[in-house]
């Protein structure tokens, strides 16, 4: 997938008054951070809102075109907004270095319908975002997890995700990403089946005891009927 492009204008003056003047012109003040340095600039507010509204994450690489600096791969490090209006106030971009790992957050999305869900299990998606370290070349902003084959009682953990080998997932232990849990209805159905086939259980014993009695009753009822049908013997 091709990267989105951000066009930025380099600026030489900074400060609160300058930033206010930029916003009055429909521009958003930005900083491009690289190797401990910060290059001030501005971007068109309408254009940057379009990019933000596509659902970009901190792991989404963008191509930034800044006059005098050429084109560079960057990601959004921080977006500041005005609390009252939610309007974008300031953006920090981080310029990446090829081969050098960066820390970012990636989304986790599931696809398909789990087999266990169709069998009455409860599907749960527990982790929707992961923090990772990755080189820019292997960075992607979304992990797609296919849950189609997931049965009741099964789960998919972080260690089972299909991710690039260079990734270092920052998490405690090996948490469950998604699972199909056993429900009360399934447990009740299993208990009923077990009782029906287990003669050692109380319910099973009662059912087993009733069976011979029912059979004996049936035979007893059948005997008089048979006698009634038999023809009377002729007198000699």
* CATH code: domain of residue 44: 2.40.240.10
Rounded to two decimals, what is the model's pTM?
A: 0.68
Domain boundary among 70, 96, 122: 96
- Give the total number of structural domains in the chain: 3
Q: Is 231 inside any structural domain?
A: no
* 118-128 pLDDT, tens digit each: 989 999 999 99
8 Å CB contact between 129 and 92: no
Based on the fold, state whether residues 176 and 187 are members of the same structural domain.
no
pLDDT at 1: 55
pLDDT at 65: 94
Range of the domain at 72: 4-96
pLDDT at 187: 75
User: Is residue 236 pLDDT above 50, yes or no?
Assistant: no
Whole-angstrom Cα distance, residue 88 to residue 107? 22
Q: Is 235 inside any structural domain?
A: no
C-alpha dist (Å) from residue 20 to 15, 17, 135: 9, 5, 36
Domain boundary among 161, 182, 203: 182
Domain boundary among 96, 130, 160: 96
User: Is residue 6 pLDDT above 60, yes or no?
Assistant: yes
Q: Is 14 inside any structural domain?
A: yes
Based on the fold, state whether residues 82 and 11 are members of the same structural domain.
yes
8 Å CB contact between 150 and 218: no
8 Å CB contact between 143 and 175: no
- Rounded to 10 deg, the angle between the 184-197 and 202-229 helix axes is 50
Based on the fold, state whether residues 176 and 188 are members of the same structural domain.
no
pLDDT at 218: 45
What is the b/e burial string over 196-209, where b = at least 16 CB atoms within 10 angstroms of the residue's CB? eeeeeeeeeeeeee
Based on the fold, state whether residues 122 and 166 are members of the same structural domain.
yes
Based on the fold, state whether residues 11 and 46 are members of the same structural domain.
yes
Give me the residue label for tokens 């080189």: 135
Q: Is 234 inside any structural domain?
A: no
Contacts of 180 (CB under 8 A, 6+ apart): 114, 115, 116, 117, 121, 122, 123, 124, 147, 150, 151, 152, 153, 154, 155
Whole-angstrom Cα distance, residue 173 to residue 183? 26
Pairing mode, if any, of strands 155-157 and 176-181?
antiparallel
Q: Is 41 inside any structural domain?
A: yes
Backbone angles phi, psi at 223, to 5 degrees: -65, -55
Tell me what percent of the residues of the chain surpass a pLDDT of 70.
Answer: 81
* CATH code: domain of residue 142: 2.170.120.20
Per-residue pLDDT band at 230 (split at 50, 70, 90): very low
Q: Is 221 inside any structural domain?
A: no
Q: Is 133 inside any structural domain?
A: yes
Based on the fold, state whether residues 15 and 91 are members of the same structural domain.
yes
Based on the fold, state whether residues 85 and 11 are members of the same structural domain.
yes
Based on the fold, state whether residues 126 and 193 are members of the same structural domain.
no
Based on the fold, state whether residues 135 and 194 are members of the same structural domain.
no
Based on the fold, state whether residues 127 and 188 are members of the same structural domain.
no
Pair of tokens at residue 38: 């910060």
* 170-217 pLDDT, tens digit each: 999 999 999 999 888 777 776 777 766 665 655 555 555 554 554 444
8 Å CB contact between 28 and 90: yes
Beta bridge partners of 200: none
Q: Is 178 inside any structural domain?
A: yes
* 21-62 pLDDT, tens digit each: 999 999 999 999 998 889 999 999 999 999 999 988 888 999
* 94-108 pLDDT, tens digit each: 999 999 999 999 999
Strand arrangement of the beta sheet that strand 102-111 belongs to:
142-146, 102-111, 129-134, 168-170
Based on the fold, state whether residues 10 and 77 are members of the same structural domain.
yes
**DSSP-H helix ranges across 87-183:** 115-118
Based on the fold, state whether residues 70 and 16 are members of the same structural domain.
yes
């Amino acid at each position: 997938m091709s990267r989105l492009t951000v066009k930025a204008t380099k600026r030489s003056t900074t400060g609160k008054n300058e930033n206010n003047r930029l916003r009055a012109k429909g521009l958003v003040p930005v900083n491009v951070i690289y190797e401990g340095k910060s290059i001030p600039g501005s971007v068109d507010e309408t254009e940057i809102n379009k990019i933000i509204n596509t659902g970009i994450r901190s792991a989404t690489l963008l191509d930034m075109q800044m006059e005098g600096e050429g084109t560079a791969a960057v990601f959004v490090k921080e977006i500041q907004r005005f609390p009252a209006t939610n309007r974008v106030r300031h953006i920090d971009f981080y310029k990446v270095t090829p081969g050098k790992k960066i820390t970012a957050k990636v989304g986790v999305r599931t696809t398909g319908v789990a087999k266990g869900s169709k069998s009455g299990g409860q599907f749960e998606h527990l982790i929707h975002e992961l923090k990772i370290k990755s080189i820019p070349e292997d960075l992607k902003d979304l992990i797609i997890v296919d849950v189609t084959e997931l049965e009741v009682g099964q789960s998919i953990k972080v260690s089972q995700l299909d991710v690039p080998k260079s990734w270092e997932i920052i998490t405690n232990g090996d948490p469950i990403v998604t699972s199909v849990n056993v429900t009360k209805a399934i447990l009740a159905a299993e208990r009923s089946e077990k009782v029906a086939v287990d003669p050692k259980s109380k319910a099973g014993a009662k059912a087993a005891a009733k069976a011979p009695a029912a059979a004996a009753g049936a035979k007893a009822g059948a005997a008089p009927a048979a006698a009634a049908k038999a023809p009377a013997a002729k007198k000699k």
